[in-house]
Chain A
Amino acid sequence: MSRLIAIALAVLYLFTGSAFGSEIREHFLPNGLKIVTVENHKSPVVTFQVWYKVGSRNEITGRTGISHLLEHMMFKGTPKYGKGEYSGIVARNGGNENAFTSQDYTAYFQNISSDRLEISFDLESDRMVNLLLDPNEFMLERDVVKEERRLRTEDDPVSSLIEELYAAAFKIHPYHSPIIGWMTDLDNLSREDTYNYYKTYYRPDNATIVVVGDFNTEDLINKIGHYFGGIPKGEPMRDVKISEDDQKGERRFLYKREAQLPYVIYGYHAPNYKDRDHYALELLNNILSGGKSSRLYQNIVYSKQIALTAGGGFTPVQTDPELFYFYAQLKPDRTTEEAEAALKEEIERIKREPVSTRELQKARNQIEASFIMGQDSVFYQAMLIGQLETTGAGAKYLESYIDEIRQVTPEDIMRVANKYFMDDNRTVGVLVPLPQKQ
C-alpha cells in the first residue's frame, strides 16, 4: 500500500464515529481567533494545535509548494526566538512538536505535559506574526524541501503515479498539484512570495486553536486571550472559489518508469461532507476495503491472487470534493488487465446488488469501534476537530455522525455507487514498469 493512500485511510477511520464522550466547546477572541477545547483528564498531557486555513488549495500556478515551504520556515525564527529554538525549548520541556500541511490546511502542534502549556502559547503567538523569513535560511530550507520531494515522490514509483492521477483528474481545481509542489516551482519560489503568503494567511481570523487534554477550560481561555488577543485581524482575504467541471469521459494514462510491479489506480470524483451521499460512500468503502474480510481483499488478493494489495478509500472531510480511489498492486506475472477486470467486477457488483444486512452491520460496527478506539489518543481527537473546523464541516459534524451512518440503507449504497462510479467519471492510472537500466 502506498504511503499517501495509507495516510488518507488512517485519517478516514478517525472521523468515522459519534461525538466524543467529553464536551466540545467553542470560544472566540475579538480578533476572530477561534478556540475549540475538549477536556480529557485521562493523562496529565495536553495537545495544543494551531490550524491555519491555508494549504495547497490556495496556491497559484508557478508557486505550488509554497504552503508547505512556509510550514518549514515557521521553525526558522523570529526576533525573539532564533533558528531552531522552538524545537529546542519544547524538547527541553519533554514535549514533542511537529507540523503538517495538506491541501486545505497547515497545522502546528505541541504535545506537552499540562504544567508546561504556557510554552505553547508563547511560541505559537510569537510566530503567528513575527516570522523573520531570513533569506539565507530560506534558500537552505528550499533545498531541504527539494530533498524531501526526491525522497517522498521522485524516487517512489507509486507516489509519483498518485501525483499523476490528481494532475489528470483535476484540470481546474488546485487539487491538481501536489502539496509538496512541482520541482520546477520549488526551484523558483522566492523569499518575497513566501513572506507575502505568510502575511496574507497567518492571522488570528484565519486560524483555529484546538486544545485537547488535561486542563481547566476557563483558565486556558484566559491565558490564550492574554497571548493571542493583541494580534490584529488581517485585511479582507479572497476565498478560493474554483470548482471542477463534471468529467465527460474516462481519462486514462500510462506512467512508465523503472519499477518492480505494475500498479493500477482508479479515481472517481466524489462528494465531500457537504453532500449527505458521503455517509453511504463511507459504508460502501468499509464493505469494499475494511479489513481482511472485505470484498476487495477476499476476491482480488485472497481468492484470485491477482494483487499483492488492493483497496480503496476517500476523504470527505475536505474543503472541496475529492476523489474516491481504488488501487491494486499486481503480483509478479499477473497483468493490469486482470486487475482492472477484477476491480470493475466488484464495482459493478455493488452497483447492481444490494449489500447484505450482515455486511452493512459489519461496516457500521467497524466505524463505531474505530471511533472509540481512536479516542485513545488526545492528539487524534484534536486532529479530527482541526480537520473538521478548517474544512468547514465544523466539530458539530460529530453530533449527528453516528445517526447518519445508522440511517444508511443497502439501497442508498447501491444508489451512490451508481451515481459516482460511472465510467465517464473515472480517471485511470497504470504504472508500467520498465526494466532496470544498467
Chain B
Amino acid sequence: MSYKTRHIMRILPSLLIIILLWTSISLASPGIEPKRVVLKNGITLLFVETHALPMVNISVAIKAGAIYDPPGKGGVASLTSALIDEGTTTRTSRQIAEEIDFIGGKLSAAGGEDYSSASLVVLKKDISTGMELLTDILLNPVFPAEELERKKKETIAAIISERDDPGAVASKEFYRAVFQGHPYGIPVEGDEESVSRITRDDIMNFYQQFYKPNNTIISVTGDLNYKEAVSLIETSFVRWDKSRLKLPEVPPVNKVSKGDSILIDRNITQSNIVLGHTGISRDNPDYYAVSLMNYILGGGGFESRMTKEIRDNKGLAYSVYSHFDVNRFPGAFTVEVQTKNESARDAIEGIRTELKKIREEQVSDDELNDAKAYLTGSFPLRLDTNAKISNFMLMVEYYNLGPDYIRDYPNKINSVTKDDILRVARKYIDTENCVTVVVGKQEKTGLRK
C-alpha cells in the first residue's frame, strides 16, 4: 500500500516519494552529447539520442511563467497551461484525452514561475500521433468559455483543499511576506480572488503575447537520430510564425529589511516552520560556492549539519533542510522543519544556531571535500533517464548555462575554497532580517508573546 522512506526530500516530489533518486554515473562517461539548433521560426531545439528503449520524450518550455501574470490576475499563466489541452480548433477536451490515452502516452502542460511547460512521452511507434496532439494544443487552443469556468472552479477547489496541508500554508505565507511587490510572492496558481477575476480575454491575450516559436525551447530525448528529430520538429511546427516579442518588465526583488514572525494557529500536532529570506538568482557567479555551503548547512540530506543536529542528535524532526531557489530572479533561501508543537521553539533555536555558525566559522576540510565529492560525483546522475535528460537540457538552455555546462561543472565546484564558503555564508545568509512562519497549535508552541 505505501512506503515509508527514511530519506529527507530535498525537493518536494508531488507524487512519487520513492522516485527522488539521482543514480550515479561516473563523470568520465555520462555518454550524453546534446545537440542544439535554432530553427527558422526561432524555436531553440535541443536533442539527445538514446536508443535503449523505443520511446521519445519531448519537453517544451514557453518563456512565459507567472512572472508575467498581469497585476491582480495571479494565475493567468497557470490557467493558460491548464487550458491548452482542453479544446482546440479541431478537437474537444475529451477527444484530446481519448487520443493520447489510447496510445498509452502522456501529454501534459503546467505553469511555472519563470516559464510554462508542456511535455509528451510516447512510444516511438506512436510519435506521429503524439506530435500531432502536442502541436495541436500548442498552436490551436481555443480556450472554450465553459472549460475556463470549469478550470477556475477546479483551481479554487484545489486552493481550498491545500489549506489542509500545513506545510503548504506556511510556505505560501512565507513567500507572500518575503516577495512583497514581486510575482514570486504570489502562488503560480493564484489565489481565490485573483483566479475568480480572470477572464477569457486575459487568457487569450497571454497566449497571443507569449506562445511564440521564438519564445520557445523544445528538448527531445529518445529513439531518433538528429536528422529525424530536426525534421520532426520543423515539419510539426512549420505553420508557427515568428513574431516580435514584447516581454514586460518584472519588478526587482527587494531584500527583506526586517525580521518578522508570522504565527498561524491550527489545531494540529506539529508546527510547520519556514524560515528565511531572499536568496540568489541562477546566473549569480557565487552559485557554485552557495551550492556547497548549502549542502554542508542543510541541503545535503543526512550529511547536512541541520539533519545531524536537529534530527539525529536531538530527535526533533523527521525532516529539516535548507534550500536556495535559484530562478531567473533572486529566489528564496528557506529552512523548513516540522516538529511537535511543544518543540517548535527548540527547533527554531537549533536552526538559528546553525545559521550563525556557518557565518562565523570556517567549515572543515572534510566537510568541504565531502560536499564536493557528492556534488561532482552525483551530478551526472541527473541524466540517467530520458525524462531527466530532457528536463535538464531545458534548464541549461533557459538559464543560459552554456554548451559546456556538464563538462565545466566539476571544475567550478572543485575550485571553491573554505574562504569562499565563509564569504558566501556571510553574504547570503542573514540571521537578523529573517522571516519566520509557524503554522501550528500556538498555545502549545509558546511562541505567542
Contacts and interface: CB of A to CB of B under 8 A. Distances in A.
- A and B interact: yes
Contacts of B29: 44
B24 interface: yes
B101 A366 contact: yes
Contact of B4 (A93, A100, A141, A298): A100
A68 B378 CA distance: 28
A373 B26 contact: no
A141 B105 CA distance: 43
Contact of B55 (A87, A154, A158, A372): A372
Contacts of A294: 101
Nearest to A159: B2
Contact of B154 (A4, A147, A180, A308): A308
Contact of B25 (A7, A45, A93, A150): A45
Contact of B164 (A112, A139, A156, A372): A156
Interface in A99-129: 99-103, 111-116
Interface in A172-193: 175, 179-180
A83 B3 contact: no
Interface stretch (A236-244, A374-382, A416-424): A374-382
A379 B5 CA distance: 15
B255 interface: no
A315 interface: yes
A93 B6 contact: no
A43 interface: yes
Interface stretch (B203-211, B283-291, B316-324, B423-431): B316-324
B312 A8 contact: no
Interface stretch (A194-202, A222-230, A257-265, A271-279): A257-265
Nearest to A383: B18
B378 to A, nearest CB: 5
User: What is the interface residue range for chain B against chain A?
Assistant: 35 or more
Residue among A114, A146, A148 with the highest chain B CB neighbour number at 10 A: A148
A57 to B, nearest CB: 11
B23 A378 contact: yes
A84 B157 contact: no
A84 B315 contact: no
A126 B142 CA distance: 62
Interface string A85-102: 001100111111011111
B376 interface: yes
Interface string B262-289: 0001111110000000000000000000
A115 B300 contact: no
Contact of A379 (B21, B374, B387): B21
B227 interface: no
B377 interface: yes
13 contacts: A7-B3, A7-B17, A43-B31, A68-B4, A84-B308, A92-B370, A99-B5, A102-B2, A112-B23, A115-B26, A155-B270, A261-B164, A302-B94
Given A91-B303, A98-B7, A180-B4, 9 more contacts: A68-B4, A94-B24, A94-B377, A96-B21, A102-B1, A147-B318, A147-B340, A261-B157, A261-B164
